[in-house]
């Protein structure tokens, strides 16, 4: 019995190692943090570098857009229905919904900035391709 459990554990570990090494269960490409993306952007020289940076900015914009949708859903959930706090203390009752709305707006603005930067790097990639 103990040997059978040991074999099962070895098989499970082997599956996890293969899955981790092949990328199974992960996104196609991770979204870089803002600081790493800024460094990558500053170091881009060739057309392929600029294309990679543009792709990362597009991925980041998609991620931020998803966060904005989540914040909007949460704001709608917090704003709908009967809220005793809103009746007794109106300023305190709406604060959570307003905060979620602000976060949604901030995420949308950041997504727009990322898309603008992606367009800029696409243009730089095309210019570098034509020049080289």
- Please check whether residue 61 is in contact with residue 121, taking contact to mean a CB–CB distance below 8 angstroms: no
Looking at per-residue pLDDT, the higher value among 112 and 10 belongs to: 112
- pLDDT tens per residue, range 51-110: 999 999 999 999 999 999 999 999 998 888 677 776 777 777 788 889 999 999 999 999
Kindly report whether the global pTM for this prediction surpasses the value 0.85: no
| CA atoms of 12 and 63, how far apart (whole Å) | 32
Pairwise pLDDT comparison (80 vs 131), residue with the higher score: 131
Helix residue spans in 1-132 (DSSP H): 2-22, 34-43, 47-79, 84-88, 90-93, 95-131
Average pLDDT over residues 11-24: 38
């Amino acid at each position: 019995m103990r040997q059978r459990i040991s074999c099962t554990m070895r098989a499970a570990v082997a599956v996890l190692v293969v899955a981790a090494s092949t990328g199974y269960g992960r996104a196609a490409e991770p979204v870089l943090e803002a600081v790493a993306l800024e460094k990558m952007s500053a170091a881009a020289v060739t057309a392929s570098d600029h294309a990679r940076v543009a792709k990362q900015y597009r991925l980041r914009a998609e991620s931020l857009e998803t966060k904005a949708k989540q914040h909007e859903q949460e704001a709608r959930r917090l704003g709908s229905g009967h809220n005793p706090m809103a009746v007794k203390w109106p300023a305190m009752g709406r604060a959570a919904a307003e905060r979620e709305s602000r976060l949604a707006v901030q995420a949308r603005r950041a997504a727009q900035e990322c898309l603008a930067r992606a367009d800029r790097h696409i243009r730089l990639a095309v210019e570098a391709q034509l020049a080289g």
